[in-house]
Amino acid sequence: GNSVTQMEGPVTLSEEAFLTINCTYTATGYPSLFWYVQYPGEGLQLLLKATKADDKGSNKGFEATYRKETTSFHLEKGSVQVSDSAVYFCALSSPQTGANNLFFGTGTRLTVIP
Amino acid sequence: DAGVIQSPRHEVTEMGQEVTLRCKPISGHDYLFWYRQTMMRGLELLIYFNNNVPIDDSGMPEDRFSAKMPNASFSTLKIQPSEPRDSAVYFCASKGGGLANTDTQYFGPGTRLTVL
């Protein structure tokens, strides 16, 4: 089946620290991979995505590389800011389901302190 | 574009009452999804529609939950009767289909439901 496992939080970092949030997946075939971000009191927003192996998604200083050999899509940012405090969700969509369903991880809460 | 619109943003009701949540997807999107988010279970897909037709409702927890999409610009999720364990944030999302098919879903701001 399809599933996503992501690093449990919460994660607390100081401003300008390096961020890694691990995400691994199980899927049949070649899924598309996503990171969504949820700011306090808001809905989920797409942060970045990658649709095939070795693709790198990037946005707002965040990056993630689709690694088929390790079935991973780890989220990284070189220097976090207080405004990055949010919950981050790794997700996949599988062509076996017509790429219509998104399978989400449990979310990782990030708090950045000044 | 106004994005996905949900109403109400907050709902507090008493056990046994009927609750109706509403969603307006992004214009032109062919797919609409209803999710539920709780601390215990995370984000769960309840049901999704394509061209107003329910495609997969396997995530609907029980018969107390029902969803409709009478037209391309409106959907409802109804809980009758409501129970305290239904307390959660309910999200609606939409995405494009057909020639513009994309696997990116766009989420509304959610409805926070509290059942006392």
Is the separation of the CB atoms in B41 and B106 below 8 Å?
Answer: no
Distances in Å between the Cα of A33 and the Cα atoms of A4, A6, B23, B62, B84 are 10, 13, 26, 30, 34
Is A43 within 8 Å of B103 when comparing Cβ atoms?
no
CB contacts under 8 A, A 38-77 vs B, are 41-46, 49, 51
> Tens digits of per-residue pLDDT, A11-35?
999 999 999 999 999 988 788 999 9
pLDDT confidence of residue B81: 96
pLDDT confidence of residue A81: 97
Cβ within 8 Å of residue A1, ≥6 positions away: A26, A28
Cβ within 8 Å of residue A98, ≥6 positions away: none
Is the separation of the CB atoms in B54 and B36 below 8 Å?
Answer: no
What percent of chain B shows pLDDT beyond 90?
77
| Mean pLDDT of successive 10-residue stretches along chain B, which has 116 residues | 90 97 95 92 91 92 94 96 96 79 84 97
> Tens digits of per-residue pLDDT, B2-25?
799 999 999 999 999 999 999 999
Mind giving me the DSSP string for chain A?
--EEEE--S-EEEETT--EEE-EEEE-SS--EEEEEEE-TTS-EEEEEEE-STT-EEEETTEEEE-BTTTTB--EEESS--GGG-EEEEEEEE-GGGTT--EEE---EEEEEE-
Tokens of A66: 């689709």
Is A43 within 8 Å of B50 when comparing Cβ atoms?
no
Q: Which residues of A touch B93 (CB under 8 A)?
A: 43-44
Q: Which residues of A touch B57 (CB under 8 A)?
A: none
Is the separation of the CB atoms in B89 and A87 below 8 Å?
Answer: no
| Mean pLDDT of successive 10-residue stretches along chain A, which has 114 residues | 87 97 91 93 92 94 96 97 96 72 90 96
Specify the 3-state DSSP secondary structure of B62: coil
Q: How many helices (H) and strands (E) does chain B have?
A: 0, 11
CB contacts under 8 A, B 71-110 vs A, are 91, 93, 95, 101, 103-110
